[in-house]
């Protein structure tokens, strides 16, 4: 597999798992209701399938991240791992009806541009 394909697939998988995790946590907390120091609340949380989807997302993201770090330079890889934040912002608008501030949009653009610049600079580096 070509390095470029490996990165594209690997980071796509990482973004999907990261996004699944964050959306699942949001859905689990919504279904759990307001926090309460009662056993009933804890049992309600433990019966929520979104809690387990979030755990699966964390495990999947960990596996994808460890696989990527075997081959990817850590600087651009760490930056690219933040694309999940951009995906979560998009889903929060589309699915949860949340509204983005101009600063959130600017922040998301900065993440994307930072990754583009790091990738371009990495591509120009001589490799052993």
pLDDT score recorded for residue 125? 67
- CA 78 to CA 66: how far, in whole Å? 12
- The structure tokens listed for 22 are 């964050």
Structure tokens at 108: 């998301």
Q: What average pLDDT score do residues 4-30 get? A: 90
- Evaluate whether 48 touches 31 at the Cβ level (below 8 Å): yes
For the entire predicted model, the pTM comes to: 0.80
Q: What is the 3-state secondary structure (H, E, C) of 21-35?
A: HHHHHHHHHHHHCCC
| Residues 32, 65: Cα–Cα separation, whole Å | 29
Q: Which of these ranges, 28-37, 82-91, 115-124, has the smallest mean pLDDT? A: 115-124
What average pLDDT does range 109-122 have in this prediction? 83
CA distance 59 to 17: 8
**Mean pLDDT value of segment 26-30:** 89
Residue 125, φ and ψ in degrees, nearest 5:
-75, 140
| pLDDT value of residue 34 | 87
- Give me the mean pLDDT over the 94-98 stretch: 91
What band does 126 get if pLDDT is binned at 50, 70 and 90?
low
């Amino acid at each position: 597999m070509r390095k470029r394909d490996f990165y594209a697939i690997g980071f796509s998988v990482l973004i999907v798992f990261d996004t699944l995790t964050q959306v699942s946590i949001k859905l689990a907390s919504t279904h759990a209701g307001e926090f309460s120091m009662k056993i009933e609340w804890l049992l309600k949380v433990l019966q929520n399938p979104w809690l387990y989807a979030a755990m699966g997302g964390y495990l999947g993201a960990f596996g994808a991240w460890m696989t990527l770090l075997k081959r990817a330079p850590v600087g651009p890889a760490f930056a690219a791992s933040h694309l999940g934040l951009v995906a979560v912002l998009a889903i929060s608008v589309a699915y949860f009806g949340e509204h983005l501030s101009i600063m959130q949009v600017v922040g998301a653009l900065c993440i994307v541009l930072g990754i583009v610049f790091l990738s371009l600079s990495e591509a120009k580096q001589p490799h052993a």
